[in-house]
């Protein structure tokens, strides 16, 4: 009868697990969702991710400036959203339910044993404490350890299991059995099962502790209240804005550079509805004015007023919604052109999008694209040219019909045709609006009502007469260790492999920097499942069960054969791990199927125990086994049944690890179409290249836009040691020429030659070491200025670094910084102004001493004085090397040996400046120069 009741208990346990995993009907959806651990885990991790990201986005900009390298960077945010939140989800989904189940079993067994034989239960209490105390001590210790390891992706997990016997307990139990028989036996079994349940709960503590550490970091960010809170609903929302802006006695230092004053008593009044041009040397504080106006920062002293109201007393979200901003480095998101423009105004219609695009001179090129406004721009807008990206950014600003328009070199990267049209559109859009226009080119502020000259954080001159002054400016121990080493090695291999892939692979939307960071943070971390706690438990279960079954067969082979049903528990757990796909859309079906696996595992676990009791009793009654052998065999097989069950619960981790492994191995096994690490190139470069470049009948389209041909039989020859300037409308392939020379891409048809040899025949890494590129959007790394320059040449000497900065007109501004060449640039160089970043990029190219120098609007972000000095330095460099210069401002290329006009995928005109100008009105280059001077239009 007792055994029959135990079977009923087994069925009840299985059904309870089933109900906890699976919603029986929609009518009790709320109740079942509360019981379903998996759904709860998904909901909670989703909420945590959203709240964490929301909190990150509401922090003031100064918070990120003051973080150490690697803290609160893009990579760290992605890692937290993917890795930390995933740890919490796993803990809620698997580990906490396991612990609760085991501890519930422990409490039930302890109470039952006390009711049956309180003396035996009391005697076993010290043994129970020996199970519990090490786990609690370990958990407290691991919280501090894991918190430190999480910061560098080194999450070490392992738990020590204690198996201690007590001679006193064994002796007392034997004595009581002779007095009370079966009750004592059942009480003893309950004590053993309870102790084993505690052991079963302990391995889950590592994941729970890891989740606790991860949640601490997430909640620290969620709970952080920024000093400038974009979600703060407090403050005024004015019903009417005239647009008068006043800066009154403003003093400001960036939080990361407190010893470097930026604004020193700035006083500036911008009349309502007027356009003000801000000019001055790089680092004079022009962009800082815009940052303070948007309240990215608050001034250290002084106040900013809007129509007499203090800006810091206005509701921040409302205040920012009244402004439209266009930076000199446009930021686009990895989505469609339409969605990028819609980011400017919530709820805007398609007509609004089209009208804004027309105003920004973007509509024509968008409609020519295969997918029109649905064209994917790629990560950071890499699928578009610089001019196209800028025009979309301008459209995004214009669609919101802002009361205040902020332009930070908004037309600096546009070609001469687009610049004129967009400038006219901006001038029209500025009417009736307060407009602040930061510019290095005086032509872009010629219509400004007021021009303000900034120097050293002060207004030194203002008014139209300031134009005359501008030209003079300057400025488990082993398994855990194995797991961590494997994880580190996988990350290193994965990153090294990614660095060999062709640029076209990164153009794909699935291969953005965010997804790559997630792979490095999460999927590589899952490799620990192979050799960490889950694998150690499986190894333990395999050899332990093998030993147990052999010993059981020796003691009583009949009972041992019956108890071999226990491995089915592992299979049922595995069915759950395979079927439980925690993905939106497929989750409900997976939960149903996974619930049957959990039901069978819980039922088999308890039912097999009942079967063992029943069959053991039969064997004992028939005299086929002695009581001593029955008890020994039962304890041995029962103990390892729990080990197997716990190992089976880890198959879910192994399943997830297996998916991650397949994803990572797919990358590691992929062969790059253009691999710079290959050394099979037939031609080695033992000396410097001469630098002759030739394009022979080249056809090319970007991999993500195969139907949109960029080159249609391009023929172009660049003589060694000469300078070739490429001009033409935006989007016609000027930057693509540079991409093919560097072998970022290979042509679909035709050949690119360097020194008479196909570029494919060179060892690529060696070839690129002889080529230097300076783009219109300089890329700096999160290191010091010295380190960023030294990237150009391995083992560069200090004297070489300083010589390069002098030539690039960077030494002066670096020297006045507190830390000089050790100044931290910030992620992507955010701690420096645009002009400063560009000059550091130039110094990095100069120190390389390349045979071929590629300049893609290299001086577009410099002020007039700096541009002149840098242009002189570049012209000296061009004397002894081949140079390819892309420029929209024709004044910077007039001294070039040859100028090529590219249009519709071909060279339509070629010659020197003088030769091309002699072609007159019929010439494409002549038309471009007339447009720049404002005298004609380009067809």
Residue 153: HSE in the Cβ half-sphere, 13 Å Cα cutoff: 31
Confidence of residue 586 (pLDDT cuts 50, 70, 90): very low
Average pLDDT over residues 289-295: 87
| Average pLDDT of the chain, as a whole number | 72
Q: Which of 60-64, 594-598, 637-641, 824-828 has the lowest mean pLDDT?
A: 594-598
pLDDT over threshold 60, residue 784? yes
**Which of 673, 700, 727 marks a domain boundary?**
673
Secondary structure (3-state) at 25: coil
Cβ pair 157, 90 in contact under 8 A = no
Average pLDDT over residues 769-787: 82
CA distances from 77 to 74, 320, 329, 517, 544 (A): 5, 24, 22, 10, 42
Q: Which of 630-634, 785-789, 912-916 has the lowest mean pLDDT?
A: 630-634
- How far apart (Å, rounded) are the C-alpha atoms in residues 874 and 807? 8
Place of tokens 């309180």: 118
pLDDT over threshold 80, residue 402? yes
DSSP states of 143-161 as a string?
HHHHHHHHTTT--------
Please indicate, yes or no, if residue 537 is contained in any of the structural domains: yes
Residue 275: HSE in the Cβ half-sphere, 13 Å Cα cutoff: 19
Q: Which of 278-287, 590-599, 802-811 has the lowest mean pLDDT?
A: 590-599
Structure tokens given for 207: 């994941």
Confidence of residue 451 (pLDDT cuts 50, 70, 90): confident
- How far apart (Å, rounded) are the C-alpha atoms in residues 411 and 390? 7
Please indicate, yes or no, if residue 255 is contained in any of the structural domains: no
Cβ pair 815, 802 in contact under 8 A = no
Of 773, 734, 740, 736, the closest CA to residue 754 belongs to 740
Please indicate, yes or no, if residue 716 is contained in any of the structural domains: no
Burial of 681 (0-12, 13-18, 19+ CB in 10 A): middle
Confidence of residue 83 (pLDDT cuts 50, 70, 90): low
Residue 380: HSE in the Cβ half-sphere, 13 Å Cα cutoff: 12
CA distances from 518 to 523, 657, 670 (A): 7, 14, 19
**Residue 137: its pLDDT value, please?**
59
Q: Which of 120-124, 269-273, 350-354, 815-819 has the lowest mean pLDDT?
A: 120-124
Confidence of residue 694 (pLDDT cuts 50, 70, 90): very high
Taking residue 50's Cβ as centre, other Cβ atoms within 10 Å add up to: 13
pLDDT (tens digit, 9 = 90+) per residue, 177-221?
A: 444 455 555 555 666 666 666 666 666 666 777 777 777 777 777
Average pLDDT over residues 638-661: 63
pLDDT over threshold 60, residue 856? yes
Confidence of residue 470 (pLDDT cuts 50, 70, 90): very low
Q: Which of 105-119, 315-329, 514-528, 788-802 has the lowest mean pLDDT?
A: 514-528
Confidence of residue 618 (pLDDT cuts 50, 70, 90): confident
Confidence of residue 159 (pLDDT cuts 50, 70, 90): very low
CATH number of the domain at 142, please. 1.20.1560.10
**Residue 693: its pLDDT value, please?**
92
- How far apart (Å, rounded) are the C-alpha atoms in residues 143 and 159? 13
**Residue 61: its pLDDT value, please?**
66
**Residue 175: its pLDDT value, please?**
41
Average pLDDT over residues 544-562: 73
Share of the chain above pLDDT 90, in %: 4
In eight-state DSSP terms, residue 93 is I
**Which of 176, 203, 227 marks a domain boundary?**
227
Burial of 361 (0-12, 13-18, 19+ CB in 10 A): buried
pLDDT over threshold 80, residue 760? yes
pLDDT (tens digit, 9 = 90+) per residue, 699-736?
A: 998 887 888 888 888 899 999 888 899 988 777 788 88
Please indicate, yes or no, if residue 105 is contained in any of the structural domains: yes
* H or E stretch at 277: strand 275-280
**Residue 16: its pLDDT value, please?**
53
**Residue 171: its pLDDT value, please?**
38
Confidence of residue 287 (pLDDT cuts 50, 70, 90): confident
Average pLDDT over residues 368-391: 81
- How far apart (Å, rounded) are the C-alpha atoms in residues 421 and 433? 19
Please indicate, yes or no, if residue 543 is contained in any of the structural domains: yes
Structure tokens given for 349: 């219609």
* H or E stretch at 788: helix 785-790
**Residue 696: its pLDDT value, please?**
92
**Residue 222: its pLDDT value, please?**
73
Cβ pair 885, 855 in contact under 8 A = yes
Q: Which residues pair with 699 in a beta bridge?
A: 712, 749
Backbone phi and psi for residue 226, each to the nearest 5 degrees, phi listed first: -70, 155
Q: What is the pTM of this model?
A: 0.51
Maximum average pLDDT range among 167-181, 629-643, 667-681, 916-930: 916-930
**Residue 246: its pLDDT value, please?**
92
Average pLDDT over residues 41-62: 75
pLDDT over threshold 60, residue 591? no
CA distances from 245 to 276, 312, 327, 432 (A): 11, 13, 20, 14
Please indicate, yes or no, if residue 364 is contained in any of the structural domains: no
Of 159, 170, 98, 101, the closest CA to residue 132 belongs to 159
Supply the range of the domain harboring residue 550. 477-497+509-673
pLDDT over threshold 70, residue 239? yes
**Residue 469: its pLDDT value, please?**
44
Q: How many domains does the chain have?
A: 2
Please indicate, yes or no, if residue 860 is contained in any of the structural domains: no
**Which of 627, 655, 673 marks a domain boundary?**
673
State the first-to-last Cα distance of the chain, in angstroms, to the nearest integer. Answer: 98
Confidence of residue 95 (pLDDT cuts 50, 70, 90): confident
């Amino acid at each position: 009868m007792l055994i029959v009741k135990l079977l009923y208990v087994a069925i009840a346990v299985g059904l309870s697990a089933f109900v906890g995993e699976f919603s029986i009907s929609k009518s009790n959806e709320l109740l079942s969702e509360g019981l379903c651990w998996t759904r709860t885990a998904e909901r909670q991790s989703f909420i945590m991710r959203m709240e964490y990201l929301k909190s990150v986005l509401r922090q003031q900009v100064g918070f990120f400036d003051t973080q150490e390298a690697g803290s609160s960077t893009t990579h760290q945010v992605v890692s937290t959203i993917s890795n930390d939140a995933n740890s919490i989800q796993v803990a809620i989904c698997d580990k906490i339910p396991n612990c609760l189940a085991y501890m519930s079993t422990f409490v039930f067994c302890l109470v039952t044993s006390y009711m049956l034989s309180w003396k035996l239960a009391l005697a076993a209490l010290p043994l129970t404490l020996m199970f519990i105390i090490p786990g609690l001590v370990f958990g407290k210790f691991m919280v501090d350890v894991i918190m430190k390891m999480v910061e560098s992706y080194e999450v070490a997990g392992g738990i020590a299991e204690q198996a201690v016997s007590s001679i006193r307990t064994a002796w007392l139990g034997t004595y009581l059995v002779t007095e009370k028989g079966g009750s004592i036996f059942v009480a003893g079994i309950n004590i053993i099962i309870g102790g084993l349940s505690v052991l079963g709960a302990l391995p889950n503590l590592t994941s729970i502790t890891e989740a606790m550490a991860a949640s601490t970091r997430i909640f620290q960010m969620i709970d952080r209240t920024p000093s400038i809170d974009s979600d703060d609903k407090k403050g005024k929302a004015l019903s009417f804005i005239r647009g008068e802006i006043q800066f009154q006695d403003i003093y400001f230092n960036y939080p990361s550079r407190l010893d470097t004053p930026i604004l020193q008593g700035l006083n500036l009044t911008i009349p309502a509805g007027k356009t003000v041009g801000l000019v001055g040397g790089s680092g004079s504080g022009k962009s800082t004015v815009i940052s303070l106006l948007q309240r990215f920062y608050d001034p250290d002293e002084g106040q900013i007023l809007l129509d007499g109201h203090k800006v810091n007393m206005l509701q921040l979200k409302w205040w920012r919604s009244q402004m439209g901003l266009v930076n000199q480095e446009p930021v686009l998101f990895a989505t469609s052109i339409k969605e990028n423009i819609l980011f400017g105004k919530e709820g805007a219609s398609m007509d609004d999008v089209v009208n804004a695009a027309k105003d920004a001179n973007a509509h024509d090129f968008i409609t020519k694209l295969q997918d029109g406004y649905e064209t994917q721009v790629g990560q950071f807008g890499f699928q578009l040219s610089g001019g196209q990206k800028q025009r979309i950014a301008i459209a995004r600003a214009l669609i919101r019909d802002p009361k205040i328009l902020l332009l930070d070199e908004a037309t600096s990267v546009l070609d001469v045709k687009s610049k004129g049209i967009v400038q006219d559109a901006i001038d029209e859009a500025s009417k009736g609006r307060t407009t602040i226009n930061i510019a290095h080119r005086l032509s872009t502020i010629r219509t400004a009502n007021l021009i303000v000259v900034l120097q050293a954080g002060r207004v030194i001159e203002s008014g139209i007469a300031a134009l005359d002054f501008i030209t003079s400016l300057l400025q488990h121990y082993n398994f855990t260790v194995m797991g961590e080493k494997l994880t580190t090695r996988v990350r290193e291999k994965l990153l090294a492999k990614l660095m060999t892939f062709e640029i076209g692979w990164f153009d794909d939307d699935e291969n953005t920097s965010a997804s790559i960071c997630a792979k490095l943070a999460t999927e590589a971390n899952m490799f620990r499942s192979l050799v960490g706690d889950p694998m150690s438990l499986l190894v333990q279960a395999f050899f332990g069960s093998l030993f147990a079954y052999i010993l059981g067969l020796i003691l009583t082979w009949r009972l041992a054969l019956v108890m071999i049903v226990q491995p089915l528990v592992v299979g049922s757990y595995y069915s759950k791990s395979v079927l439980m796909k925690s993905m939106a859309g497929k989750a409900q079906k997976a939960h149903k199927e996974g619930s049957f696996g959990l039901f069978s595992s819980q039922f088999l676990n308890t039912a097999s125990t009942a079967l063992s009791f029943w069959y053991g009793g039969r064997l004992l009654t028939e005299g086929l086994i002695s009581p001593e052998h029955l008890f020994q065999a039962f304890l041995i097989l029962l103990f390892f049944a729990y080990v197997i069950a716990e190992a089976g619960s880890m198959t879910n981790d192994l399943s997830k690890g297996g998916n991650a492994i397949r994803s990572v191995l797919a990358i590691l096994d992929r062969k790059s179409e253009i691999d710079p690490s290959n050394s099979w190139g037939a031609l080695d470069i033992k000396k410097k290249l001469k630098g002759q470049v030739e394009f022979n009948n080249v056809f090319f389209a970007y991999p993500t836009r195969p139907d949109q041909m960029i080159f249609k039989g391009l023929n172009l020859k660049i003589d060694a040691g000469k300078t070739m300037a490429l001009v033409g409308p935006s989007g016609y392939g000027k930057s693509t020429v540079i991409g093919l020379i560097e072998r970022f891409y290979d042509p679909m048809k035709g050949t690119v030659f360097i020194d008479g040899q196909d570029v494919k025949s060179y060892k690529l890494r060696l070839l690129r070491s002889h080529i230097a590129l300076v783009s219109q959007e300089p890329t700096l790394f999160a290191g010091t200025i010295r380190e960023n320059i030294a990237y150009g040449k391995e083992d560069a000497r200090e004297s070489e670094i300083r010589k390069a900065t002098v030539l690039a007109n960077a030494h002066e501004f670096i020297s006045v910084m507190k830390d000089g060449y050790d100044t931290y640039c910030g992620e992507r160089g955010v701690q420096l102004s645009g002009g400063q970043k560009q000059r550091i990029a130039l110094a990095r190219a100069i120190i390389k001493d390349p045979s071929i120098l590629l300049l893609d609007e290299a001086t577009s972000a410099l002020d007039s004085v700096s541009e002149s000095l840098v242009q002189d330095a570049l012209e000296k460099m061009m004397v002894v090397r081949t140079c390819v210069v892309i420029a929209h401002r024709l004044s910077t290329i007039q001294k070039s040996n040859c100028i090529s006009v590219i249009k519709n995928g071909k060279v339509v005109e070629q010659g020197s400046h003088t030769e091309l100008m002699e072609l007159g009105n019929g010439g494409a280059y002549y038309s471009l120069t007339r447009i720049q001077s404002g005298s004609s239009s380009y067809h």
